[in-house]
Structure 1
Amino acid sequence: MKKAIVFGANGYLGRHIAYYLTQQKINFIPTDLAEQSIDNYLNYTSIDITKPEEMHQINYEVDCVFMFAGLTGSTNTPEMEKKYTKVNEQGLMNVLNCCKGIKNLRLIFPSTRLVYQGIKNTPLKENSAKETKTIYAKNKLACEKILADYQLQYHINYTIFRIGVPYGNLINEEYSYGTIGFFINQAKKNNNITLYGDGSLKRTFTHVSDICEVIIKSVGIEKTINNIYNIGSNDDLSLFEVASLIASKYNASVELIDWTKEALAVESGDTIFDDEKIQAAFNYPYQYSLKEWVEKTL
C-alpha cells in the first residue's frame, strides 16, 4: 500500500488508522465532516458523504480506502433510523460509486459485534447466526451486503472487520469512547460503575493498537480480499470483571442495577469472537492485555 484515503479521520478508529499510516510513512488523504482536522493534517478535506456533489473533491486513484465514517449508537426512533441509514448506507454507496473503475483498489470497512445473535459462553464465527437489534447494527449488516453486491457488479474489492469492544488511545489521554470510556469516566468522578443485571455478559475487548495492526497488515495479504473477519484479542471477559478492574484502580465500586425495558430490548447477549479465520490468513499475536493496560496506563 502506497496511498490511501481515510474517511472518518476525526473519529476514534479512523483517527487511529490515520495515526498508523503516518507512522508507516504511507501517503493518505484524511477526510471527515468537520471543517478542520482534529490532528491538523495539512491535506485534510471536509466532505459530507451524504452529498454526492462533495465526493469528487479528492482523487480516488489509491490502493486503499478506509471507510470509517458513519454514525454509531443504540437509538431506535424512526427519525434516527432515517438519519443513520442516510449516513451509514447511502454514505457508503456514495464512496463506492467514486471507486468504480479504479484498478487494484480495496475498501476496508469496520463492522461490529452487534450483527451477531449472542450465545452464552460461545465464541462466534463469522458465519454464526445474525440478529440486529439496533438501527446501527442493521446498517452495518446492510453495508456488508452492499459491499458484496458492488464487488460482484463493479469488481470493487473489500475487506470487512467485525470489531468487539475497542479500548485504548495512542494519540492522547482521553478515554471517552464506548464501554471502557464509560467505566473510566464514572470511576474518575467517584461514581459507582453501574451494570445491568449481574454483569455476567461477556465481550471480546481489543486494544485499538491490535485492531489497527490487524487491519493494516491484512492489506498486504491477497487472501484477505473480499472476506469478512472477526478481530479477536487476549481478553474475553465479563462486564463485571472489566468494571471491577477499573473500579479497583480508582477506589470506586461496581453497582448492579435492574435492566430497563429499553436497554434489555437492544442487548445482544454474550458476544465473544472466534478469530480462527484471521489467524489462518496470517498469524497475529495480540500485543495487549486489558488487565496490564489498566495497571500500567490508567
Structure 2
Amino acid sequence: MKSLVTGGAGFIGSHVARYCRDMGHEVVVLDDLSGGFKDQVPEDVEFVEGCITNQKLVESLFLKHRFDYVYHLAAYAAEGLSHFIRRFNYTNNLIGSVNLINAAVKYEVKCFVFTSSIAVYGAGQVPMIESMVPRPEDPYGISKFAVEMDLAAAHEMFGLNYIIFRPHNVYGENQNIGDKYRNVIGIFMNQIMRKEPMTIFGDGMQTRAFSHIDDLAPQIARSVKVRKAYNEIINIGADKPYSVNELAYVVSSAFGVSPRIKYLTPRNEVQHAYSNHDKAKKIFGRGSGVSLEKGVGRMAQWALKVGARRSAPFKNIEVKMNLPASWQV
C-alpha cells in the first residue's frame, strides 16, 4: 500500500506516518516545515518539502506514486488566530485541501482520511456528538467544516471514500512547543523551561478534554482497514474535561515546580469544549486511555530533552483590530 501523509513532519502527522510505516505502508510525507521539523519525519519514509497549496506539486506526487490512501493532516491549526488571518487560513486549510481532493478523485484513491476538528461544532454544544448540526464560530472551524462538506460531495459525485476525524486539544511528543498561538500544554511547558510565568487568557475556568497523541494516532493510521469507518465522521480523543487552571497545576507538577500564573485579558473563545466518543469506541474499540497526568509527564520528559523553543511570530496579520496584546509582539 502507498500512502501520502500531509503534515507528516508536524505533530500528529509524524506519529500517523510512523504508524502507517509500521503497518507496512510505503509512506510519502509532504510538509512545508512551517510548523513541523524534518527530524520528526520517521525513518524509511520519503520526505518531500512543499505545500499543499502548490497544485502542480500535488498533481506530480499523485501521478508518480498513485497513492492508495491519503492521510491529510496538514493545516495551520491556530484556531484563535484564524480570525486575524482569514485569507491565509482559507488558502491553506481549504484551498490546499481541495487540491488534494481533486487529485484523490482523479487518481482513484481508495480512501481519503481527513483530520477535522471539534471547532466545527461551535459553542454551547457539550458533550459534542457527531449528530449535532455544526455551527463553527471562527474561520478555522469554518474551513474544516467546508472540507468535510466537500468530501461528502466528492463521495456522492465520484465515489471517493473518506473518513473524517474530529480530534481536540491533542498534545504529546513532537508538538511545536514554541508556537505561542496554539497548544496550551506546549505553551505552558515552554514558559516553564524559559523561567516565565504561565499565561492564561481570562480566569482559567474554561474547560477542555486534553487528548494524548496515543489516544488517536494509532486509530487514524489503521482506520483505512476498518470498513465501518468509511464515509463516517468520528469524534476522537480523551473523555474527561479539565479547566485550564487545573491543567497549569498538572504541568507544573510534571516539571517539579510551583505554578506561577499570569492572567491575561480574556479572548473570544469557546468556554467549554469536549466530545462524546461512543461512536469511536464502537468502531475501533477503546483507545489507550492515557491519563492527563501520565501523558503530560511523558511529554515533559521529551520537552526537557529537546529544550525550550522560540518560533518566529506570525508576520502577516491581516486584521489587527481586537488582536490580543500578547500576540502583537
Band of TM-score, shorter chain: 0.7 to 0.9
Pick from 120, 143, 146 the counterpart of residue 150 of structure 2. 146
Q: Conserved in 2, the CA contact under 8 Å of 1:167 and 1:205?
A: yes
Q: Number of residue pairs matched?
A: 289
- Aligned residues: CA RMSD: 2.5
Q: Conserved in 2, the CA contact under 8 Å of 1:115 and 1:130?
A: yes
Report what 1:23 is aligned to: 22
Report what 1:249 is aligned to: 254
**Equivalent-residue separation in structure 1 for 2:208 and 2:231 (angstroms):** 26
**Equivalent-residue separation in structure 2 for 1:280 and 1:292 (angstroms):** 25
Pick from 75, 80, 83 the counterpart of residue 81 of structure 2. 75
**Equivalent-residue separation in structure 2 for 1:51 and 1:186 (angstroms):** 35
Alignment of 1:156 with 2:160, yes or no, is: yes
Change (3 A) 1:42 1:14: closer
Q: Conserved in 1, the CA contact under 8 Å of 2:123 and 2:137?
A: no
Alignment of 1:90 with 2:99, yes or no, is: no
Shift of 1:99: 1.4
Q: Which has the higher strand share?
A: 1
Structure 2, unaligned stretches of length 5 or more? Answer: 301-329
Pick from 203, 220, 224 the counterpart of residue 219 of structure 1. 224
Q: Conserved in 1, the CA contact under 8 Å of 2:239 and 2:275?
A: no
Change (3 A) 1:130 1:100: closer
> Percent of pairs identical after alignment?
24
**Equivalent-residue separation in structure 2 for 1:63 and 1:19 (angstroms):** 17
Superimposed CA distance per residue, residues 251-280 of structure 1 (whole angstroms, 9 cap, x where no aligned partner): 1324362534xx1x2x01211110011112
Shift of 1:221: 1.0
Pick from 136, 139, 152 the counterpart of residue 135 of structure 1. 139
Shift of 1:234: 4.9
Q: Secondary structure at the match of 2:91?
A: helix
Pick from 111, 117, 122 the counterpart of residue 112 of structure 1. 117
Tell me the TM-score normalized by structure 1.
0.87
**Equivalent-residue separation in structure 2 for 1:70 and 1:293 (angstroms):** 24
Q: Which amino acid aligns with 2:198?
A: I
Change (3 A) 1:158 1:15: same
Shift of 1:125: 0.5
**Equivalent-residue separation in structure 1 for 2:200 and 2:51 (angstroms):** 36
Change (3 A) 1:166 1:176: farther
Structure 1, unaligned stretches of length 5 or more? Answer: none
Q: Secondary structure at the match of 2:296?
A: helix
**Equivalent-residue separation in structure 2 for 1:238 and 1:246 (angstroms):** 12
Q: Secondary structure at the match of 1:150?
A: helix
